C-alpha cells in the first residue's frame, strides 16, 4: 500500500510499502521504522501504473493544489483507493462548534476539496461514516466534540488548520462566547445529549473506491 499525503504517518497501517509526502518538516517527524517516504505530491506520483494493491489518503485531499489530478493518480498506481475526508454540508449543519459559534469556518470549508470533490471524481465509490471516539487522541477539528473546554486552549486551536487560517478576531469572539456558555452551564444544557455518546458522527467519511 502507498500512503499519500502521509505526514508523520499517524494512521499508517503496518505493511505500508511507501509514503508520499511533500513536506520535509513532516517527513522528519516520521518515527524510526516507519515506511520510507518519497518527497512528492499526489498530483505527480513517481510510480508506474498499477504497482500497489491499495492507496490511502487521510485528511489530505483538501491540501492538494489539484485534487482531481491527485485522485486520478491514486487510481492510476493502485487497484483500490481509500480516502478519509469529511462531508462539509453535514458538518456545517451538525457540528455544534460551527452551528453555534463559528459558521464562518463552515463557509471556508465549503470551498475545500473534501467529500463532494472525491465523490464527483468517483461517483461509484462507497462512502462510510467514520465516527470519532470521545477521547480521540488526535487533534483534528471535530476531535473535541465532547470536550468543548479543549477549544479554549490556544495550542489546540493552532493545531487545527480550519481555525488557524481564519480571521483570528472571529475565532476569538467565538471562543469568548463558548467560554461564557461553558461557565454559565448553557453549553451543557444545550448539548446534554452528546455526553451520553462514546463516539459521534462529526461528518468524517471514508471513501472506498
Ligand X SMILES: C[S@@+](CC[C@H](N)C(=O)[O-])C[C@H]1O[C@@H](n2cnc3c(N)ncnc32)[C@H](O)[C@@H]1O
Query: What would the x/- binding string for ligand X be over residues 23 to 42, using CB under 6 A?
Result: x--x--------------xx
Q: Of 60 and 81, which has the nearer Cβ to ligand X? A: 60
Residue 114 sits in the site that holds ligand X (CB under 6 A): no
Residue from 18, 58, 118, 202 in contact with ligand X (CB under 6 A) = 58
Residue from 1, 2, 7, 122 in contact with ligand X (CB under 6 A) = 7
Q: How far is CA 7 from CA 2, 29, 189, in A?
A: 13, 8, 38
How many residues of this chain interact with ligand X, rule: CB under 6 A? 19
Question: Of 153, 157, 166, 146, which Cα lies nearest the Cα of 105?
Answer: 166
Residue 4 sits in the site that holds ligand X (CB under 6 A): yes
Residue 63 sits in the site that holds ligand X (CB under 6 A): yes
Interacting stretch for ligand X, rule CB under 6 A, among 1-9, 31-39, 72-80, 111-119? Answer: 1-9
Q: Which helix (DSSP H) or strand (DSSP E) does residue 80 occupy? A: strand 78-86
State the Cα–Cα distance between residues 146 and 192, nearest whole angstrom: 10
Q: What angle do CA 95, 136, 202 make, to 5 degrees?
A: 20
Amino acid at each position: 500500500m502507498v500512503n499519500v499525503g502521509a505526514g508523520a504517518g499517524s494512521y499508517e497501517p503496518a505493511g505500508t510499502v511507501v509514503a508520499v509526502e511533500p513536506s520535509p518538516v513532516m517527513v522528519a517527524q516520521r518515527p524510526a521504522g516507519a515506511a520510507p517516504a518519497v518527497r512528492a505530491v499526489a498530483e505527480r506520483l513517481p510510480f508506474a501504473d498499477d504497482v500497489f494493491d491499495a492507496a490511502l489518503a487521510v485528511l489530505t485531499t483538501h491540501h492538494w493544489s489539484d485534487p482531481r489530478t491527485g485522485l486520478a493518480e491514486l487510481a492510476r498506481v493502485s487497484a483500490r483507493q481509500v480516502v478519509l475526508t469529511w462531508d462539509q454540508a453535514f458538518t456545517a449543519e451538525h457540528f455544534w462548534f460551527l452551528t453555534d459559534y463559528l459558521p464562518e469556518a463552515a463557509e471556508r470549508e465549503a470551498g475545500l476539496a473534501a467529500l463532494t470533490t472525491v465523490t464527483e471524481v468517483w461517483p461509484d465509490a462507497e462512502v462510510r461514516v467514520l465516527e470519532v471516539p470521545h477521547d480521540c487522541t488526535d487533534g483534528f477539528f471535530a476531535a473535541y466534540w465532547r470536550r468543548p473546554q479543549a477549544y479554549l486552549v490556544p495550542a489546540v486551536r493552532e493545531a487545527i488548520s480550519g481555525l488557524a487560517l481564519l480571521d483570528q478576531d472571529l475565532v476569538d469572539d467565538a471562543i469568548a462566547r463558548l467560554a461564557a456558555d461553558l461557565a454559565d452551564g448553557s453549553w451543557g444544557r444545550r448539548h446534554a445529549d452528546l455526553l451520553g455518546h462514546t463516539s459521534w458522527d462529526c461528518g468524517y467519511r471514508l471513501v472506498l473506491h
